[in-house]
């Protein structure tokens, strides 16, 4: 966090902050002071960082889709494991990320990742409050500093950051949510393990 703050201070010293609303602010600022060669090196580093982020997203998202498929909320095909890897979920996520990375403009892609991450963090933050002391779970060793104040502050900060995103980003995320709700109500609600237990 300190490093990000220091970088932001340097960048706003080079270029007015109103001009830094771009996908590559560091390279942009260096180009503005005629350090294009350094900006090019920074851009290569940024590409390496994006690649790392995409690989991380592939592994985490495929694991999530695998778990959802295993629980019956998506077709159980996604819950298939081969060689200790969720193969079907992995290939599905790779294809989606590759298509979006190739077709969606970088700025919009970054904003979508931002709002998705913030929504996930907000849900986790607010979900900790009832789950921390839920009798159905063994919470030995699971501690939350400053409970329940810290999760509430985290939730509020996530909401604050989400309000800074563009209307276009909100519309795109709402479309994704609508798509997810259609899948849930058309398939997941009837095939999930909770539904199966209710039928039994």
pLDDT digits (tens), the chain, 200 positions: 788 888 888 888 888 888 887 767 877 887 777 777 776 777 777 777 777 877 887 888 888 888 888 888 888 888 888 888 888 898 998 898 888 878 888 778 778 888 888 988 899 899 888 887 777 767 666 677 888 899 999 999 999 999 988 888 889 888 888 988 888 888 877 877 655 554 44
Q: Is the dihedral of CA 67, 148, 139, 198 positive or negative?
A: negative
- Look up the pTM and report it: 0.64
Separation CA 125–CA 157 (nearest Å) = 10
Separation CA 200–CA 198 (nearest Å) = 5
- Residues linked to residue 82 through DSSP beta bridges, in sequence order: 85
CB burial of 21-43 (b: ≥16 within 10 Å; e: otherwise) equals: eeebbbbbbbbbeeeeeebeebb
């Amino acid at each position: 966090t300190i490093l990000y703050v220091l970088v932001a201070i340097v960048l706003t010293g080079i270029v007015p902050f109103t001009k830094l609303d771009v996908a590559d602010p560091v390279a942009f600022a260096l180009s503005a002071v005629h350090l294009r060669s350094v900006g090019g090196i920074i851009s290569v580093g940024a590409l390496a960082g994006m690649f790392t982020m995409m690989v991380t997203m592939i592994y985490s998202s495929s694991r999530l889709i695998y778990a959802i498929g295993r629980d019956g909320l998506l077709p159980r095909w996604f819950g298939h494991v081969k060689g200790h890897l969720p193969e079907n979920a992995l290939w599905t996520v790779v294809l989606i990320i590759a298509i979006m990375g190739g077709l969606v403009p970088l700025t919009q892609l970054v904003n979508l990742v931002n709002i998705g991450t913030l929504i996930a963090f907000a849900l986790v933050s607010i979900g900790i409050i009832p789950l921390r002391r839920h009798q159905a779970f063994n919470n030995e060793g699971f501690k939350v500093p400053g409970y329940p104040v810290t999760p509430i502050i985290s939730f509020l900060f996530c909401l604050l950051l989400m309000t800074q995103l563009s209307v276009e980003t909100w519309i795109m995320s709402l479309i994704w949510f609508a798509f997810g709700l259609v899948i849930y109500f058309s398939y997941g609600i009837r095939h999930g393990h909770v539904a199966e237990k209710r039928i039994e």
